[in-house]
Amino acid sequence: MISCEKIKKDYYTALLSKDNTFEGVFFVGVKTTGVFCRPTCPARKPKFENCEFYKTAQEALLASFRPCLRCRPLSHPNYVSETVTLLVNAVEENPTKRWKTHHFKELSIDESTARRQFKKHFDMTFVEYARARRIGIAIKYIRSGESVIDAQLLSGYESGSGFRDAFSKIMGSAPKNTNDHKTVLKATWLDTILGSMPAIADETGLYLLEFVDRRGLKLEIKRLLLKTKAAILPGTTNPITSIDRELKEYFDGKRMHFETPFHLLGSPFQKDVWHELIRILYGETRSYSDQAKSLNKLSAFKTVANANGANQLAIIIPCHRIISSEGTLGGYGGGIELKRWLIEHETAHKK
Ligand SMILES: [Zn+2]
C-alpha cells in the first residue's frame, strides 16, 4: 500500500481526472465498496479518505479488494483471452477454492495455457492469482475480528509462510478488534527439517507446537482459543524463540530434552499422562500397556491412549515414544512416517 501522503494526493488527482497516463502506475482500492479499480474507472469516484493505493493488482487483491466489474483492473491494457476471463470469473464464484488439475479439465481449459496467459497479462500465474484472492479473504476475516490461525485455515491456505508474509506486509501491526479477548497469544511457523510447525505461546510458556499436517489441528486450535479466551496474532515471544533454538538442536541430534516453559491445558488425568510421557527418556520407547501400568490405569488403557492423542506439544511431550505392545509403531497424530523418523532419529543420537 502506498503510504506517502504526497503521492496519494497525486494519485487521487489522477483518479478524479481519469488521467490515462496513470494506467498501470497504480490501482485504487475503495474501502466502502471493497472493489479495486484502474485510475480511469468510469464509476463514480470515491472520497479521498476511502481510497487505498497500490502499485500492483496483486497487492490490491492481497488487501482483500475484488476486481471492479466496470473498469476490470485485471484486463488492462491488453486484450484478455476468453480463458483468462473465464478463470477470473470462476475464482469470483468460489474464491476459497484450491485449484487442482481436474478443475481445469472440468472447464476444458489447458492448465499450462492458463498459467502462461495469466503470467503475461498480470505478471502472476493463475495459481498465484487464486492464492492472492484467498489470502485476501482470510485477511478480511481477520479485520472482522477472527483469529489469525483460524482465518488461515478457513481460507484453505496450505502453508503458513506465504500467509504470514502477506499478512505482515499488509497489516504491518496487529489487527484491530482484539479488545474482547482476554489475552493475546502469538503464533509463529517454525521451519524444521520435518516441515513447518506452528508454535503458539504467550510470554510465560508454549501452548501449542504441532506438525502442520497433524489431523485435527484446526479443532485443537479452536479448543485452545476457547480455553484461553485468547486471540492469536502472528508474532513471537520468548518461549517461541527458545523452542525454535531447542528444536534446531534437537534435529541436529544435540538436544535430548527441552527446557522451554509450557502450559498444559487438560484434565487432571490428561496432565498425569503427559507428565508420565515426559519421563520416558530420549531414544527409548514404551508400549501403551506399560504406560497404562505405570499410571495404575490398566483398565483405562483406551483413556490413556486418548490422552496421548490430546497432547498439543509435539516432540516436547514425547507421545511418539509410545508404541504398541507387538512392537509395531501404533498411531500418531502427525502421521506414522513422522513417528518412525523421530524414533529412528533419537535411537541414532542417544548417548
Ligand atoms: Zn472500477
pTM score of the predicted model: 0.59
Spacing, Cα 37 to ligand 1 middle (Å): 4
Residue 4 is a catalytic residue: no
- Tens-digit pLDDT profile for residues 226-275: 788 777 776 789 999 999 999 999 999 999 999 999 999 998 889 988 99
Per-residue confidence at 48, pLDDT binned at 50, 70, 90?
very high
Asked if residue 164 has pLDDT above 80, the reply is no
More reliable by pLDDT, 198 or 263: 263
- Tens-digit pLDDT profile for residues 206-239: 999 988 767 777 778 878 877 887 777 767 899 9
Domain ranges of the chain: 1-69, 268-349
CATH 1.10.10.10 fits 268-349, yes or no: yes
> For residues 203 and 144, what is the distance between their CA atoms, to the nearest angstrom?
26
Per-residue confidence at 154, pLDDT binned at 50, 70, 90?
low
Spacing, Cα 110 to ligand 1 middle (Å): 29
Burial of residue 329 (number of CB atoms within 10 Å: 0-12, 13-18, 19+): middle
- 16-36: burial string, b at 16+ Cβ within 10 Å, e else: eeeeeebeeebbbbbeeeebb
**pLDDT in the model for residue 78:** 47
More reliable by pLDDT, 3 or 45: 45
Position of cell 509410545?
322
Spacing, Cα 87 to ligand 1 middle (Å): 19
Asked if residue 142 has pLDDT above 70, the reply is no
More reliable by pLDDT, 175 or 54: 54
Please tell me what DSSP assigns to residue 257: S
> For residues 40 and 61, what is the distance between their CA atoms, to the nearest angstrom?
18
**pLDDT in the model for residue 35:** 94
Spacing, Cα 41 to ligand 1 middle (Å): 4
- Tens-digit pLDDT profile for residues 72-121: 887 655 456 778 888 888 888 888 788 888 999 998 888 888 888 888 77
Query: How far apart are the two ends of the chain, measured CA to CA in Å?
Result: 54
More reliable by pLDDT, 300 or 341: 341
> For residues 81 and 7, what is the distance between their CA atoms, to the nearest angstrom?
33
Spacing, Cα 336 to ligand 1 middle (Å): 52
User: What integer is the mean pLDDT of 335-347?
Assistant: 90
- Residue-wise DSSP of 25-55: T-EEEETTTTEEE-TT--SPPPPGGGEEEES
Per-residue confidence at 16, pLDDT binned at 50, 70, 90?
very high
Spacing, Cα 84 to ligand 1 middle (Å): 18
Asked if residue 129 has pLDDT above 60, the reply is yes
Q: Supply 182's cell numbers.
A: 482476554
Per-residue confidence at 61, pLDDT binned at 50, 70, 90?
confident
CATH 3.40.10.10 fits 1-69, yes or no: yes
Spacing, Cα 12 to ligand 1 middle (Å): 14
Phi first, then psi, for residue 132 (nearest 5°) are: -60, -40
